[in-house]
Amino acid sequence: MKSLQAYRFALDPNDAQLAGLSRHAGAARFAYNWGLARVKAALAQRDAEASYGLTGDALTLVPWTLPALRLAWNAAKHEVAPWWAECSKETFSAGLDQLVRGLKNFTDSRKGRRRGRRVGFPRFKKRGKARDSFRYTTGAYGPATDRSVKLPRIGQVKVHEPMGALTGRLADGRARLLGATVSRTAGRWFVSFTIEVEREVPSSPSRRQCAAGPVGVDLGVKHLAVLSTGETVANPKHLAGSLRRLSRASRAYARSKPASVGRRKRAARLGRIHARVAHQRRDGLHKLTTRLAKTHDTIVVEDLHVAGMVRNRHLVRAVSDIGMAQIRRQLTYKTRWYGSTLVVADRWYPSSRTCSGCGWRNPSLTLADRTFTCHSCGLIADRDHNAAVNLKHLVAASASETENARGGDRKTALARQVPVNREPGTAQAGQTGSAVPPRTAARQRLTHDS
């Protein structure tokens, strides 16, 4: 199976290379701002011409596509940027490409072709405020040795860790290099290589090593994840562990003089703390999702309404520190890598309110109730573990949304639009959704025996 994959490495440049990296990032930002100014000027001219009654081909053409912007840049670069030869031509193309993507996102958002929040019109980038990055797609770039990379116009730059995992695949032809993105995060420069790799996916569960059966994964705040097997993954709370240092750094930054050297130093320290928390969270989530995708044939998770959960001022910090959306995103492609299956339960399925033994439902269960007690069969279980077991049962019922081999969402015929009792924290109040049909008596006995 061919798939796109990225390898990210931290760079260790010298002083001259640091200046070159900053110069290339500034060139990409300059091209972006130049293209945006040209687009806005053309739009203003077009509106003025339309006010005079001009229509059709008489109106000014707006350079909205990447080829049009590249053509205009090549014609004007000698005047607007006489220093352009000091940087790679790919840098300017990368800046214009970022602008085109922003314009496309704006158009798709207005026409309803883009999900999520509405995207506004692109704005100008300011040095020190925008993220420094540029990209190579052509030229002599890529890994030079196992501990260095070659970047056009910058030279051979050392990396902090060996790149054997990438260079080995490129050497034997198992991967093809598509591009390289150089970016700066919290004062450190990174290079990310995008490759097309040929992965060997097991054709059957019997060929997978240590493959277990299906598992339900209930994500939460108290615990990062509770599995239907009884395993509890502790919540590391990386942000909570760094709040003391973060508060001190924030106060020091707020008290510093604007536009001073001290303010830049305090801003850099604040950024390093945020980056450390993000790296810790990313590392823990990758380890968890990789282990689940390798050791289980089927993984069932909930379609949580995270955007609604973070609107709760009491939960916003705890929910944001977990990264629930990242867990589902990583499981989506890792299950395809390792031959397992990801099942996404319906958002309206009351996993915590339903008894995993007999199917009885407790509509009065609240978030404060951490123990589920069944009034029908007498089952007493932890709330999160009961929800994880219910998620595991959805595999047999097939009442779910499944990620197919191509990554698309496929809704089953059993997902019907009927009113249900909303489970706290899974969707907005006052709405209805799909529910799972009642279990048959035989399946209830099978579930209770297990």
Q: For residue 233, what are the contacts with CB-CB under 8 A and spacing of at least 6?
A: 223, 224, 225, 226, 227, 288
Q: Cβ(389)–Cβ(352) under 8 Å?
A: no
**C-alpha atoms less than 13 angstroms from C-alpha of 276 in its C-beta half-sphere:** 14
Those residues with Cβ within 8 angstroms of residue 365's Cβ, 6 or more apart along the chain or in another chain? 352, 353, 372, 383
Q: Choose among 130, 122, 167: nearest CA to 9.
A: 167
| Beta bridge partner(s), residue 372 | 381
Q: Is the dihedral of CA 342, 343, 346, 349 positive or negative?
A: negative
Kindly report the CA angle at 246 between 242 and 250, in degrees rounded to 5?
175
| Tokens read off for 206 | 């019997």
Residues 6+ apart with CB under 8 A from 334: 289, 290, 293
3-class SS of residue 296: strand
Which pairs count as long-range contacts for 263-271, CB under 8 Å and 24+ apart, including other chains? 268/186, 268/187, 270/246, 271/185, 271/186, 271/187
R_g (Cα) of the chain, nearest Å: 26
Q: How far lies 6's CA from each of 69, 81, 193, 367, in Å?
A: 28, 33, 5, 39
Catalytically annotated residues: 218, 302, 384
Burial (CB count <10 Å: 0-12, 13-18, 19+), residue 111: exposed
Residue 366 Ramachandran class (φ > 0 left, ψ -120 to 50 alpha, else beta): beta
Task: Report the distance separating Cα 214 and Cα 304, nearest Å.
Answer: 20
Closest Cα to residue 354, out of 434, 243, 419, 435?
435
